[in-house]
Amino acid sequence: MIQAQSSINAEEVFQYGDNGIYSFLIKPQTIRRFDLLFILSRKDLNENFDTIKISYYNVKDEHVEYLLDKVNGDWNLGENPIDNDWKLLV
């Protein structure tokens, strides 16, 4: 899987993450929103998949993982619907 730092079109450069960086330090009781782009190629994962998860290490160096969405990972080209509502990760 590749995490894209930026994309370029004819008019502008768009930075993903936090100015192209995917390492985040977010203060407690803070809400932040980031645009992220991950690219997964069939050559990197030669099997179907049906979930998208987010994982990170907290300040105690503990691994935390949440289910973000169920998808149709059959490798057919297309877009999955994006829900712009906030998701509570518990």
Structural domain includes residue 48: yes
**Percent of the residues in the chain that have a pLDDT greater than 90, as a whole number:** 6
Structural domain includes residue 85: no
The domain in which residue 69 lies consists of 2-73
Structural domain includes residue 80: no
Number of domains in the chain: 1
| 26-61 confidence digits (pLDDT tens) | 788 888 888 888 877 788 887 888 888 888 888 899
Structural domain includes residue 36: yes
DSSP line for 58-83: -TT--EEEEEEEEEEES--S------
The pLDDT of 49-75, averaged and rounded, is 84
pTM (2 d.p.): 0.61
